[in-house]
Amino acid sequence: MNVARLRRLGRRLVELSKTAAGETKGPPLTPGEEAVFEDVLRHPGGTVGEIQARTGFVQSHVSASVARMRERGLVRTEPDPGDGRRTLVTLTEPALAAVHRRAARPVEEAVHAAVGDDPERAARVVALLDELEALLLTG
């Protein structure tokens, strides 16, 4: 394994997770909006400046992404009570509920589709994914 293959695998796993999660309502998020959305999911109530610092995007891009997602009902914004010049960003309840619904979906069907009609191979892939999760994401 080298870095190029690891990145390719990572992209393939992202594709697989999107397939398993299924279609979303409305137009898809751009990659930049996805990054901002994920940051808000991980850091609810963060400011636009904090999102900018964590994502590395310029502030105008973060502000525009937040505005588009607010129009679509995915995020809500409110002035920071401690500093009215700052804007706090949080996912809306419907967006958060959709994230939880999609995250709970099983991946077996998507894995089966990705590896063909070999149920043993698909089961092995799922077992390896479970093992990778245990090794890399827990503990």
Q: Can you give the pLDDT at residue 48?
A: 94
**Three-state SS annotation for 31-100:** HHHHHHHHHHHHCCCEEHHHHHHHHCCCHHHHHHHHHHHHHCCCEEEEEECCEEEEEEEEECHHHHHHHH
CATH second-level architecture of 27-105?
Orthogonal Bundle (1.10)
CA angle 92–22–108, rounded 5-degree value? 125
The domain limits of the chain are 27-105, 106-139
- Summarised one tens digit per residue, pLDDT across range 26-76 is 788 899 999 999 999 999 999 999 999 999 999 999 999 999 999 999 999
**Is residue 102 classed as helix, strand or coil in its secondary structure?**
helix
What's at 77, amino acid-wise? T
pLDDT > 80? residue 79: yes
- Summarised one tens digit per residue, pLDDT across range 94-139 is 999 999 998 889 999 999 999 987 899 999 999 999 999 999 997 6
Phi, psi dihedrals of residue 98, rounded to the nearest 5°: -65, -40
Q: What is the pTM of this model?
A: 0.77
The token pair at 50 is 């904090």
Q: Measured between alpha carbons, how far is 91 from 71 in angstroms, rounded to an integer? A: 12
